[in-house]
Amino acid sequence: MKNCHTDSAEVNVIDELENDFLRDVAEFFKVFGDVTRIRILQSLLTGEKNVTELADLLDISQSAISHQLRVLRQNNLVKYRKEGKTVFYSLDDEHVQTILEQGMVHIRHKRGYAE
Partner DNA sequence: TTAATATATGAACATATATTCATTTGAATG
Partner DNA sequence: CATTCAAATGAATATATGTTCATATATTAA
Binding site for DNA (CB under 7 A): 30, 33-37, 50-53, 60-64, 66-71, 80, 84-88
Q: Does 33 bind a second copy (CB under 8 A)?
A: yes
53 or 104: CB nearest DNA? 53
Exposed / middle / buried, residue 51 (Cβ in 10 Å: 0-12, 13-18, 19+): middle
76 binds a second copy (CB under 8 A): yes
Q: Where are the beta strands (DSSP E) in 1-115?
A: 49-50, 78-83, 86-91
- Contacts of residue 34, defined as CB under 8 A and 6 or more positions apart, other chains included, come to 68
Among 11, 22, 45, 64, binds a second copy (CB under 8 A): 22
CA gap 20, 48 in Å, rounded: 33
Which residues here bind a second copy, judged by CB under 8 A?
Answer: 19, 21-35, 37-39, 42, 76, 95, 98-99, 102-104, 106-108, 110-111, 113
